[in-house]
Structure 1
Amino acid sequence: MSGKVLHAQLHLLDRQLIDQATGELLGKVDDVELDLDADPPVVSALISGRERIPAVQVMEIGTAVKIVPAELNLTRGDDWVERHVIDKIPGAGDAPE
């Protein structure tokens, strides 16, 4: 048997997701998906918001999880909050980014 043993609660949940190529912060790991047909069961995907990140897109697990985001839109929720909440706050448009 090869591979690394991870404890989902300790090594994956609430870890920051980072784009491996750009270093951009993309979100946090909210949940994990397991392949229970494997022996032993393995993580098949990470869940962030409504997006499913297949395990093959996970490049490195450390203090953060580096991924290749491909066609994922992990900032969809952030974009919505910015448009519908933050932009409505008086003076928010004047604040530097």
Structure 2
Amino acid sequence: MTVAGKVLHAQLHLLNRQLIDQATGALLGKVDDIELDLQADPPVVSALISGRERIPALQVMEIDTAVKIVPGEVNLTRGDDWVERHIIDKIPGAGHAPE
């Protein structure tokens, strides 16, 4: 994958990078895997995978120490919401009680 004249190595520059919503700065998850278009010559990254969600390469806006994306219809916080409701909220003192 090439961005602004730079060659990116998927394992080094993409995997395990933080995903950030470009508009809000919200942390959305990490890049778990990549999807390649092997029909292209040379093969290119066609999507990033986070959890069970597929983020098309066109939604990737910037790759630096983190990957900034436009999430669109992708819901990357679904797993976090479930963990909060079913696990964290059941821990005594983990609710929204005053300190």
TM range (shorter): over 0.9
Partner of 1:76: 78
- Aligned partners of 2:59, 2:89: CA distance in 1, in Å? 33
Q: Which runs of 5+ in 1 are unaligned?
A: none
Q: TM-score, normalised by structure 2?
A: 0.91
Q: Is it true that 1:24 corresponds to 2:14 in the alignment? A: no
Q: Distance in 2 between matches of 1:82 and 1:64?
A: 24
Q: How many residues align?
A: 95
Cα displacement (A) at 1:90 = 0.6
* Structure 2 residue identity aligned to 1:24: A
- TM-score between both structures, scaled by the size of structure 1: 0.92
1:48 maps to 50
CA shift for structure 1 position 5: 2.0
Following superposition, the deviation at residue 95 of structure 1 comes to: 5.8
Is the helix fraction higher in 1 or 2?
A: 1
Secondary structure of 1:93's aligned partner: coil
Question: 1:5-50: CA deviations, max 9, x gaps?
Answer: 2111100000000000010000000000000000000000000001
Q: Which runs of 4+ in 1 moved over 4 A?
A: none
Distance (Å, rounded) in 1 between the aligned partners of 2:43 and 2:7: 11
Q: For the aligned residues, what is the CA RMSD? A: 1.4
Q: Distance in 1 between matches of 2:41 and 2:9?
A: 16
Partners of 2:42 and 2:97 in 1: CA distance: 51
Give 2:63's aligned residue. Answer: 61
When structure 1 is superposed on structure 2, of 52-61 and 87-96 the one drifting more is 87-96
What residue number does 2:17 align with?
15
Give the CA deviation at 1:94: 3.9
Sort the Cα spacing of 1:52 and 1:90 in 2 relative to 1 into closer, same or farther, 3 A. Answer: same
